A and B are shown apart, each in its own frame.
Chain A
Amino acid sequence: MPYEIHTAPGEEPEDVPTTSGGTTTWPMWEVFIRPRRGLAHGHAGSLHAPDAETALQHARDVYTRRREGVSVWVVPTDAVYASDPDDAEDLFEAIEKPYRHATYYEIPEEVGHM
């Protein structure tokens, strides 16, 4: 298949780096794009750039070649403080409170749309 690369019979399989080495590369930035007025910025992807100004220019070139947005934010990846995936169950799944959803309540049909 395209872009799945094959090892010929008898050939050494290819190297797979498994850990991050020490090469210093430009810092990473997360890119957020507002697709249209009235919509929130959404995460589009990430890129490398030496500074915020260049990150913004790269974001424009990489993620908005077809008017995908009217506004772009770039945020240093380091600045994102994320929830721990191991806590996901406790945080989001464990406490099920169905009465917080509109569908929990039965309203007679005669009342009409509510």
Chain B
Amino acid sequence: MTSHEERFQALIDSEEKIESTDWMPDGYRATLIRQIAQHAHSEVIGMQPEGNWITRAPSLDRKAILMAKVQDEAGHGLYLYSATETLGVTRDEVVELLHQGKHKYSSIFNYPTLSWADMGTIGWLVDGAAITNQVMLTRCSYGPYSRAMVRICKEESFHQRQGYEILLALCRGTDEQKAMAQDSVNRWWWPSLMMFGPHDSASTHSEQSMNWKIKRVSNDDLRQQFVDMTVPQADYLGLTLPDPDLQWNEERGHYDFGSIDWDEFWQVVKGNGPMNRERLSHKIKAWDDGAWVREAAAAHAAKQARKKEVA
């Protein structure tokens, strides 16, 4: 180990944060660029499944709430792109990689939102799973990433609560409304568990990330944490979770649950999920459609600068 490497690892071992101007191993930098950029892409693509329901929200209140949530997700994307840029790449570069299909985003957003209840389930389960992960990431060793996570976590709790409240309203409503909620939870439960990634035994880049304290808790431990937290919340709603093997294990002090369909997981990761094509083409279209706005803003800025020079 070089003295640089020793000093770097010593900082990490003593729970100090690494800042952008510090020396860092190339692998640490590359891992962070990939992870933070893909986290940013996920926030941005994640606006689509919910944006889909803004015009059809059942009340003005729900519409305002949903717009605020979607706007937050855009903000999360921006905080995270800023964090990526502290590592020496530009936002345009990583966005371009997304558009070329060379960077991925979270597979959860490749499932369709078929009913209003999905707005409730996404807030409760998808944002819930994201919170479990992001709370861990507030303790990540890279300062700019950790700070972005602190900011994001403060906002996420609203996302989860508004989702749960949507489901509460449906579950207290008519039989049809409750059935809609149940159908939605049936569709989202397994994909939400898949959000935590492959089993620890099959997770390729976990160990190094743990040593670098980019990741602090293993995939399986996070998933268990999420299940334990969520089951009682489902009970309160009076909804069942679509897993016959789900039951409390007194000995372990945790819920046992059935095995995940990893074939489906890898299919969606590889691009064969129900919405992969549509999500990416919509993203590219939005970027292209916005070209005139970027050009106009640049032209305006140039004109203002010229005026200043003359004055």
Contact = CB atoms under 8 A, between A and B. Distances in A.
Interface of A: 1-9, 11, 14-21, 23, 25-26, 28, 45-48, 50-51, 53-54, 61-62, 65-66, 82, 85
Contact of B103 (A14, A19, A26, A54): A14
B48 interface: no
B104 interface: yes
Q: Is the interface of B mostly helix, strand, loop or mixed?
A: helix
Interface residues of B, number: 65
B196 A1 contact: yes
A51 B26 CA distance: 34
B195 interface: yes
Nearest to B77: A62
Contacts of A62: 75, 78-79
Nearest to A54: B297
27 contacts: A1-B219, A2-B108, A2-B130, A2-B133, A3-B38, A3-B42, A6-B203, A6-B269, A14-B34, A14-B97, A14-B102, A14-B104, A16-B33, A17-B33, A18-B88, A19-B88, A25-B90, A48-B91, A50-B297, A50-B298, A50-B300, A51-B297, A53-B304, A54-B301, A61-B71, A82-B21, A85-B19
Contacts of A18: 26, 29-30, 33, 88-89
Interface of B: 19, 21-22, 26, 29-30, 33-35, 38-39, 42, 68, 71-72, 75, 78-79, 82, 85, 88-94, 96-97, 102-108, 126, 129-130, 132-134, 147-148, 151, 155, 195-198, 203-204, 215, 219, 222, 266, 269-270, 294, 297-298, 300-301, 304-305
B97 A17 contact: yes
Contacts of A6: 197-198, 203-204, 269
Contacts of B92: 21, 23, 25
Given A1-B219, A2-B130, A54-B297, A17 B269 contact: no
Contact of B301 (A7, A9, A51, A65): A51
Which of B38, B151, B155, B301 has the most CB atoms of chain A within a 10 A radius of its CB?
Answer: B301
Given A2-B195, A5-B105, A28 B85 contact: yes
Nearest to A44: B151
Contacts of B103: 5, 14-15
Contacts of B68: 65
